[in-house]
Chain A
Amino acid sequence: MAEQQFIGGDIILKALADQDVDVIFGYPGGVTLPLYDRLYLQNRLRHILVGHEQGAMHAAEGYARSTGKPGVVLVTSGPGATNTVTGLVDAMMDSIPLVVITGQVVSTLIGNDAFQEADTTGITRAATKHNYLVRSANDLARVLHEAFYVATHGRPGPVLVDIPKDVILGMGPYMGPENVTPRNYVPRIEPDMAKIEEAVELLASAKKPIIYAGGGIINSGPEASKLLAELVHLTGYPCTTTLMALGAFPAADKQWIGMPGMHGTYEANLTMHDCDVMFNVGARFDDRVTGKVDAFAPHAKKVHIDIDPSSINKNVQVDIPIIADAGLALAAIIKLWKKKKKAADAKALKAWWKQIEEWRSIDCLGFDQPKKDFIKPQHALVRLQNALKGTDYYVTTDVGQHQMWTAQYIRFEEPNRWMTSGGLGTMGYGVPAAMGVQVAHPESTVVCVTSEGSLLMNVQEMATISRYKLPVKILNLNNDRLGMIRQWQELFHSNHESECDLANRADYIKLAEAFGFTAIYCDDVADVDATLAKMLATPGPVFVNMVVDRRENVFPMIPSGAPHNEIVLGPNQKLKKMDDRNNVMA
């Protein structure tokens, strides 16, 4: 009996529906017209028409990061496809599951330099976890289901499926995901129990331990966050979470010592430096965390749990490598810890915490907000945190100083609440990402903290936010500068403010109003609270242009390539630290 045949476009839509996709971010074009025609005839899938394909990518990332489901993007051939590349690499670096469908010119024209033709699979090969060019409608269903499988299994990442116009128009059979067994991609997720046992023994023997958790916890799912908290409480050890893992462990918990790395807390970095056992779960020893690798945690025995074998011993040599899903490994460790009735060395741990508390008492994030004068960006964020407290909020950022300040001052108690471009550092991420988060969580508060440089890189998505009446709140910390560039120029390049001046580029209030946002201006310290309250209370999209101190720097800071114990503190802490130097540098 002949299998029932479907039009390629319908196979695509059916496959998306069977993968539980409810929204796609896209932009139509010549070769995807037949697919958009089929899309028009259904109402199961919601399509968000973005302003630019890069915006679709970051929106899908925001959607994916805040839901744990893969984000889906649909764009056309040529420029549509090439505009996705930054988003693909961003998702690759931050392990975000995406399925990106690109149209391709008719098969017979491939290679002819046809109109809007690009070698999409060639261009994106290094930018994706995997990509496919579908040659026949017969393969469509299988390839699409495989794409979802690959995107979401093992270390998540972006998968691109390039589909020529004739395949969208062609006829082929349909099969559901249950009938597609990936040929060979079966990543390992179960830990090796012998290694788990070694890890438990090492953990229990620690005098100065640290639990260093990364984005792998978030990718493993909310259960992994619960297990992380259980292990931290069970052992009594301090816990630091990377930029990608903010919210994987509650910020309100006393055992949380902040974020490590270049702009991490003083206590987290010195704890990392001085520890004797480092338990890394789901982090990848990024150079922004390790600083100078030769001097990274020089006295520590290291456990590294990672789902990606290529992360092991890539930057830092470890003593106990465990290739596994973070959640499964944590569950195994907790089980064995309990079974063996392990307990921390109470005396050593007490002394260790005493030391950590001394570091913490430096109050490395402390700052002075003068009563009059410029608004300090830190103050704006502390007040934002205060205004958000107790509400159901998600926060996205762009890239630069404001990103680091947001990471330092906004508190996350749950996973999936914090969206930022960590690995690639993509300016222009924040606004579209907030859009994607708001689409997924229409009732929640979604705030995008940004600044002028990043804002203008994907400002067109403000139009999309407005068109779909998404109540996104954009807080623009306006310092008229590329702040992080200016900071590095001040610190490392003789204060030459080379091409970092962003003043007089736009009237942001008029710009926001033109996009249909409620726009609020604030440059007075006295108005900060009222402005933020109004931002959060006003229905619909709101844009706040908050003028902040343009000379402010992000501290603490570990200069690039320096070890953790050469962390530089801000002006408020320097004196305190000198008093405390004997303790601190022990």
Chain B
Amino acid sequence: MADRRRSSPRAPDSAYDKTNKAPQGNSKTSASAKNADAQEHTFSVLVDNEAGVLHRVVGLFSGRGYNIESLTVSEVDGGEHLSKITVVTSGTPQIIEQIRAQLDRLVPVRKVANLTADGPSVQREMGLIKVVGSGEARVEALRVADIFRAQVVDSTNRSFVFEITGSSEKLNAFIELMRPLGLADISRTGIVAIARGDAGM
């Protein structure tokens, strides 16, 4: 993509049309309230990698009462100093629309994509799972890891650290299976995601 700037309209007005809109009545409840029509959405946010930018994004969520289910951030373009923040949130369609608009108006935010609404996407998470045990449990842990295509990245006589990548559901399933086998510690990255197809962000 030649021009990453916002000289072209970033979101068409139709993005603000009331498709999916809640019944007329605008009953905006707190985003944190578990609403019947709350949905989980994954946003990809391309930002200038400047001091405080993550604080700005996180502050927007906490200040306006939106949920953060998962958050990841890393520089993706060192030359241009761009970082990508992947944030999983939940809310009613109206709140999801607000979140997009609110993110979009932050000055260091270059682009916002709603990967859940804008089209198909790939979403992955990585986990490092420490399992401690001996005997049959230790063998069983290795067997399960093999089934899940988890890699052993550290081992001692009594422990393994497994690296596992996949959907959050896959990680959850793996962790549940490890629990009776001596699960000792878990680190997860949170979700990173990207749109399917040939288009850049």
Contacts and interface: CB of A to CB of B under 8 A. Distances in A.
A47 interface: no
Given A126-B59, A192-B12, A195-B13, A309 B5 contact: no
B105 A184 contact: no
B84 interface: no
B107 A294 contact: no
Contacts of B75: none
B11 interface: yes
A318 B18 contact: yes
Contacts of B105: 154-155, 187, 308-310
A306 to B, nearest CB: 10
Interface of A: 121-122, 125-126, 129-131, 133, 150, 154-155, 183-188, 192, 195, 293-294, 296, 298, 308-310, 312-319, 321-323
Contact of B27 (A294, A298, A323): A294
B26 A322 contact: no
B13 A313 contact: no
B98 to A, nearest CB: 6
B28 A315 contact: yes
A125 B56 contact: yes
B67 interface: no
Interface string B1-25: 0001111011111001110011011
Given A310-B105, A317-B21, A183 B13 contact: no
A155 B106 CA distance: 12
B18 A184 contact: no
A314 B17 CA distance: 12
B63 interface: yes
By secondary structure, the B interface counts as loop
Chain B, interface size: which category? 35 or more
B51 interface: yes
Interface of B: 4-7, 9-13, 16-18, 21-22, 24-28, 48, 51-52, 55-56, 59, 63, 94, 97-98, 101-102, 104-108, 110
Contact of A184 (B6, B11, B16): B6
Contacts of A195: 13
Contacts of A130: 106-108
Contact of A322 (B6, B13, B97, B106): B13
A296 B28 CA distance: 14
B24 A317 contact: yes
Contact of B16 (A131, A185, A293, A323): A323
A186 B104 contact: no
Contacts of B5: 183-184, 186
A308 B26 CA distance: 19
A91 to B, nearest CB: 16
Contacts of B98: 310, 313-314
A188 B97 CA distance: 18
Q: Of residues B7, B12, B102, B107, which shows the largest number of chain A Cβ atoms within 10 Å of its Cβ? A: B107
Contacts of A323: 9, 13, 16
A309 B26 contact: no
A317 B94 contact: yes
A421 B161 CA distance: 59
Given A121-B52, A130-B108, A312-B16, 8 more contacts: A125-B56, A154-B105, A184-B5, A184-B6, A185-B107, A294-B25, A309-B101, A313-B16
Q: Of residues A121, A184, A317, which shows the largest number of chain B Cβ atoms within 10 Å of its Cβ? A: A184
B113 to A, nearest CB: 15
24 contacts: A122-B52, A126-B59, A130-B107, A184-B5, A184-B107, A185-B107, A186-B6, A188-B10, A192-B12, A192-B13, A195-B13, A293-B27, A308-B101, A309-B16, A309-B101, A310-B102, A313-B16, A313-B94, A313-B98, A314-B101, A317-B24, A317-B94, A318-B18, A323-B16
A150 B109 CA distance: 13
